[in-house]
């Protein structure tokens, strides 16, 4: 029997689900190996009977927590889909300020008191609320990696997610190192798996797949000095996707 699969969205742009919708003719392959029972972006049917739940988005409010826990209780396998879900991502930028201050800044005098839709706390990644079985990293996710993970799960194989930094992929692609072009790139400490798509196109890595490990301070200082970069450049780059993460403090 084909595994039953459902997609859910929390605080996100839903761009990761769009990546899946954009599989186009390969959608046919996808539905030949799994039954998609819920996918708001492409179908109106919905069922609570599923084996694998894909969760896009960050968790922001008590009602999100309730909904996520319910999904977790239905799903045999729960997969965090995209940076908002896997690491909190961009949604965590606002964790720099207390939630109340953020709400005041955004909604000003609007009457949101007691409205559960606006009852936001500090942003959480999915695994800060419920256990996550697998992660599909990236902002947005990489379609090839999504296919690899789904095919692996369908074969009963643990998907291989790179545990090494983007530099490996950059080198294999023979990209010119962005540090040598005077840019600060998070590739050396960011999980690979994106085939170094940003550096390959001349943009420094923003760390959307999560930071692997924190380098020694001495090492950071040496690198900044060697390439004439500032600590602030590094700090602001780490904030974009990885604010508050232990590895970035």
41 or 222: CB nearest other proteins:
222
The one segment of 5-13, 58-66, 85-93, 149-157 that binds other proteins by CB under 8 A: 149-157
Residue closer to other proteins by CB (options 95, 152) is 152
Strand partners, 81: 56, 136
DSSP result, 124-148:
B-GGGTS--SEEE-BTTB-HHHHHH
Considering only residues 77, 93, 99, 223, which one is a binding residue for other proteins as defined by CB under 8 A?
A: 223
Is the link from the previous residue into 140 a cis peptide, with omega within 30 of 0?
yes
Count of residues binding other proteins (CB under 8 A)? 43
DSSP state of 118: G
Which of 69, 76, 158, 235: binder of other proteins (CB under 8 A)? 158
187, 163 Cβ separation under 8 angstroms? no
138 touching other proteins, by CB under 8 A: no
SS3 category, 34? coil
Among 157, 203, 233, 235, which residue sits at the site for other proteins (rule: CB under 8 A)? 157
Q: How far apart are CA 172 and CA 94, in angstroms?
A: 36
Whole-number minimum distance, CB 162 to other proteins, in Å? 9
Q: Where are the alpha helices (DSSP H) in the chain?
A: 15-21, 26-33, 62-74, 83-86, 99-107, 143-155, 166-172, 197-200, 217-226, 231-242
Residue 155 engages other proteins in binding (rule: CB under 8 A)? yes
- Closer to other proteins by CB, 122 or 195: give it: 195
154 touching other proteins, by CB under 8 A = yes
Please give the residue ranges that form the binding site for other proteins (CB under 8 A). Answer: 26, 29-30, 32-33, 147-148, 150-152, 154-158, 160, 163-165, 167-168, 171-177, 179-181, 187-189, 213, 215-216, 218-219, 222-223, 226-227
């Amino acid at each position: 029997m084909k595994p039953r699969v459902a997609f859910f969205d929390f605080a996100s742009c839903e761009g990761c689900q769009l990546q899946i919708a954009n599989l186009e003719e390969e959608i046919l392959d996808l539905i030949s190996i799994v039954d998609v029972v819920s996918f708001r972006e492409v179908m109106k049917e919905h069922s609570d009977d599923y084996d694998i739940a894909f969760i896009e988005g960050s968790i922001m409010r008590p009602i999100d927590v309730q909904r996520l826990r319910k999904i977790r209780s239905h799903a045999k396998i729960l997969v965090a889909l995209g940076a908002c879900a896997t690491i909190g991502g961009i949604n965590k930028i606002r964790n720099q300020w207390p939630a109340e201050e953020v709400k005041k800044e955004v909604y000003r005098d609007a009457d949101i008191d007691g409205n559960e839709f606006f009852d936001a706390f500090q942003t959480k990644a999915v695994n800060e609320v419920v256990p996550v079985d697998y992660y599909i990293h990236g902002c947005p996710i990489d379609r090839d990696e999504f296919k690899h993970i789904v095919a692996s799960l369908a074969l009963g194989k643990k998907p291989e997610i790179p545990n090494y930094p983007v530099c490996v992929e950059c080198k294999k692609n023979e990209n010119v190192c962005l540090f040598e072009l005077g840019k600060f790139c998070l590739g050396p400490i960011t999980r690979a798996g994106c085939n170094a798509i940003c550096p390959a196109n001349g943009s420094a890595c923003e760390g959307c797949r999560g930071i692997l490990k924190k380098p020694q301070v001495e090492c950071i200082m040496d690198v900044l000095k060697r390439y004439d970069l500032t600590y602030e450049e590094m700090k602001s780059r780490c904030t974009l996707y990885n604010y508050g993460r232990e590895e970035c403090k």
